[in-house]
Amino acid sequence: MTYGTCSLRLSAELAQDKRALLGAQLRSIKGVVAASVGDKALTVWYKEELPLALVRRLVKRMEEECAPSDPELDMAGYRREAIFSLVSFAGMKALEKLAPEAFAGMKVFRSLLVLAIARNFLKNGVVGMVKERRPNADTLTSTAVIASVLAGKPESSLTLLTLSNGAEMLTAYAAERAKKQISGLLNMNQRFVWLVDGGVERKVAVESVQVGDRIAAHSGEMICVDGRVVSGKASVNQASITGESNPAMKREKSPVYAGSVIEVGEIVIEVEKTGKDTSLAHIVHLVEEAQSRRAPVQNFADNMANMLVPISFLGAAIVYGATRDWQRVLNLLFIDFSCGLKLSTATAISASIAAAAKKGILVKGGNYMEALANTDTVVLDKTGTITVGIPQISSIKTAEGVTEKEMILLAASAEMHSVHPLAVAIQKYVKDNNWEVPQHRSSKTIVARGMQAVVPDFDGFKGGDVIVGSYKFMKERGVQGAGELVVEDTTENLIYIARNGSLMGIIGITDPVRPKMKKTLNQMRRYGVDEIVMLTGDSEKVADHVARQMDIDSYHAEVLPEDKANYVMKLKERGGRVMMVGDGINDAPALAFADVGVSLGGRQTDIAAESSAVTIHSEDPTRLVEALRIGQRTMHLVHQNFKATLLVNSSAMLLGALGAISPLAAAAIHNTATLGVVLNSCRILTPEGSIFARRTQA
């Protein structure tokens, strides 16, 4: 049998989950045997005949669902509806006072006018009942409007509609403020850059810049690309990436990122990434995506809100049965819990993700924000996480008659082509002292031992056959004096250097602890962390030294990557909410298994960043405490909003049932409470310590 094919172009790019859903819908059509949905087009394979009209309807519906809404248009609509309902209410009240007979004779017109104003609420209420098979907040509002019409007082529901539309407008504004914290990151407001061509700078459009080009950036200008400095020096504010307000000094070979601002100086940058490929664009994309990942507390809020809507209906029915008073019935119908619970929770999560991003903390979902708030166990990798990850020479001990410079330069010559961290430490020491490394005639790597090289005489120093490596390497080569230099019990990594079979000296290399790391670990305990564990592939001696220095509860040394993941799983099985902090490939499995995986530092590997739930580009470990603080502050505000919504609305319902308040007052209380909790959620965006921000501690 031959099959027909049909291809259609998409007018909007669909998300991965929407593509999968559309594909499933297309395959459910009778006669369709297969369907493939791509970024910009779809293909359908069918037998006999394809109902093309149905296919187009499904595609159009999905494109409309994925189309971004314009918040300004939404607010304009709310504002228009609010003004229309307010003017209508004022007009009816004026007509009732000035011409009561005409007012009474326009009952049908008044009812139709109210129904027209409430059309959106009526539509959403009916759709909710049909699609979800349960009432929602708009169903409650619709019932209240219809009840007021049936009671012969349609204008009474106009107050509800006016307040509801006004509250919706202000709520949309408040929620959008949180989202604009993210979208504003990409708004670099720089349309041109200075392209360096043959030593001459030309002004060109940002869009025309390609990878490999060289551009100049001057004081006050924003960098629009990711790249590396090839010449010049500048002080750069890169808070959009790292969240750090202190500028970073950029010189030759230093990396620079889009969104950074040149404060002082001038640099020439070789372009590595442009447009949507830059680090900033990647961060913005991930944060926007994160806002669609719901936290468990959001699901709880939705379920609770949906459960409380029928209770409002039940209360209204009981009140009507007991009193036959439509005013009291309207009081209960004018009040619902749904808006306050749902909107405040969603706004709090969205605002917290935005606030974290401003501080250089990329949280990839609302679920992780809640997990941060509940973290009680922290597991840290050592190298590159607790420590800086850049080994440095910490001690030098030479044999009699050997100078420090002589020994270091011979070692650097032998290690010239090595990328081993210990070799890099030696090379860095030479560079910092502005010494010139002598060239070697030959060099050879001895696996698991060290390096061997033949170095000629240089700068008044004697060369020779040089070996650099471990004590075991020296003993195997029969180096004289290898046991004469005494090294006290140390946690340093020791490198031995010998020339022509005689020991020249020993270099001690350590990986220093990050500044503020101990302070960070102490502060974590203030935020509810009960246990801190260190995992490292380093030796027992080194691990023990670092653990004691940092007051870490427990540690495991000489562990493999899979061992780290197993340790994390064991801690989770004990009931702990585990945060894993790492930076390298070997940390990726553990980062993925933890409740919250955090990749820390600018030297983190791509796989570590992808495996983690939170990415921190800053080298400052106090960002870990900041992440815990934001998570806890978020959940504090969510619980605060829950209590306020339930208390205020329950009190208003009780007063309404007793007839102590009017429907106008009931509507005002409900909408004011909703707006209040949404604005309360937005406090996360305010600076800590301001009059509107409350410091929250565990």
Task: Point out the catalytic residue in the list 226, 381, 583, 595.
Answer: 381
Residue 77: name the closest of 120, 45, 22 by CA: 120
- CA dist 258 and 237 (Å) reads 11
Centroid of chain to Cα 590: 19
381 included as an active-site residue: yes
Residue 560: name the closest of 381, 438, 401 by CA: 381
What is the sign of the dihedral through the CA atoms of 465, 470, 474 and 476? negative
DSSP letters for 519-583: HHHHHHHHTT--EEEEE-SS-HHHHHHHHHHHT-SEEE-S--HHHHHHHHHHHHHTT--EEEEE-
- CA dist 694 and 217 (Å) reads 40
Residue 45: name the closest of 26, 22, 60, 62 by CA: 26
Helix or strand or coil: residue 267? strand
- CA dist 364 and 379 (Å) reads 19
353 φψ region: left (φ > 0), alpha (ψ -120 to 50), beta (else): alpha
Helices (H), 415-560: 421-432, 471-476, 517-526, 540-550
Mention every residue, 6+ apart, whose C-beta is less than 8 A from residue 598. Answer: 579, 580, 581, 582, 591, 612, 613, 614, 615, 616, 624, 627
Contact present, 560 and 615 (Cβ < 8 Å): no
Residue 288: name the closest of 185, 391, 388 by CA: 185
Contact present, 149 and 114 (Cβ < 8 Å): yes
Other CB atoms closer than 10 Å to residue 220's CB: what's the count?
9
**Token reading at 105:** 């004779």
Mention every residue, 6+ apart, whose C-beta is less than 8 A from residue 237. Answer: 245, 247, 248, 260, 261, 263
Residue 215: name the closest of 192, 234, 235 by CA: 192
Which positions are annotated as active-site residues? 381
